[in-house]
Amino acid sequence: MDVTSETRIADFAAFMAKSEQDVIEWASLRGRVYFVLRECVVSGRLPPGSVITLRGVAKALGTSMMPVRDAVTRLVTEGAVELNPNRTFTVTRLSPTRFMEIRDIRIEIEGWTAELAAAHISAEELDNIQTLHLRVEKASKSLDVSYLTWNRRFHFSIYKAARKPELITIIELLWLKYGPVLHYFSLEDDARLHGNNAHSAIVSALAERDGAAARRAIAFDITTASEVILPRLTEDYNNRA
């Protein structure tokens, strides 16, 4: 595993341990290892093509290779990680065409989910989403290492308010493939600023229980982010082809 990937995984594990948002009772060590790796992929902490080795992850998380092997194998099955001929693993790299396909699916499914959330969201859930929005804004100003994690939590807190568990499962699978490209987005100062503005519109729509506006705001957020991501993704994909 390259040093960058190992460090990112270790940093996320440390962030998770001290975050008040992560009060989780692990059913097993395997569950913990899978969660950390999965979140690193979904949130964009590991860019597309990041090399993963079992030994490197085990070292980063202070565990044996067995639970790491189980977690990585599961991520391969879910399409988030690819097994290479040399027996190393890499975070899945989307082609521009596949990226746009998933983007269009996200717009429809996540937009609809946000529309449903506007009708069912509780005051407590709205307060939590507003708090997460502020955390995203704060982290975005200096590209704090927590930025991508808070961004993911912001989105999924909205979707959970829709009261549709099966939709959440579908969205999570989409993010497993799409999440890594958010790394490109996070590198652009102006993009993070525009992302914050889009999030403000989403929060306002939810507060007003305006489902149509929430759906439009989610679509705008995903679309504008993709306009930043696509050129970087295309260049990276072509350079490695």
DSSP 62-121: TS-HHHHHHHHHHHHHTTSEEE-TTS-EEE----HHHHHHHHHHHHHHHHHHHHHHHHH-
> What single-letter DSSP state applies at residue 50?
-
DSSP 181: G
pTM recorded for the entire structure: 0.89
Query: What whole-number distance in Å separates Cα of residue 99 and Cα of residue 93?
Result: 9
Cα–chain-centroid distance for residue 7? 18
Confirm if 125 and 147 have CB atoms less than 8 A apart. no
The single-letter code of the amino acid at 139 is A
Domains detected in the chain: 3-91 (1.10.10.10), 96-240 (1.20.120.530)
Q: Under a CB-based contact definition with an 8 Å cutoff, are residues 148 and 44 in contact?
A: yes
- Supply the angle between the helices 189-207 and 147-160 in degrees, to the nearest 10: 20
Q: Which two tokens stand for residue 35?
A: 């969660």
Residue 176's contacts (CB-CB under 8 Å, 6 or more residues apart) are: 38, 41, 42, 75, 78, 79, 80
Pairwise CA distance, residues 91 & 52, whole Å:
8
DSSP state string for 131-154: HHHHHHHHHHTTT-TTHHHHHHHH
Tens of pLDDT, residue by residue, the chain (241 residues): 444 687 888 887 777 666 544 444 455 777 889 989 999 999 898 999 999 989 999 999 999 999 999 999 999 999 999 998 887 899 999 999 999 999 999 999 999 999 999 999 999 999 999 999 999 999 888 766 688 889 999 999 999 999 999 999 999 999 999 999 999 988 888 888 888 999 999 999 999 999 999 999 999 999 999 999 999 999 998 987 6
* Amino acid 194: pLDDT: 84
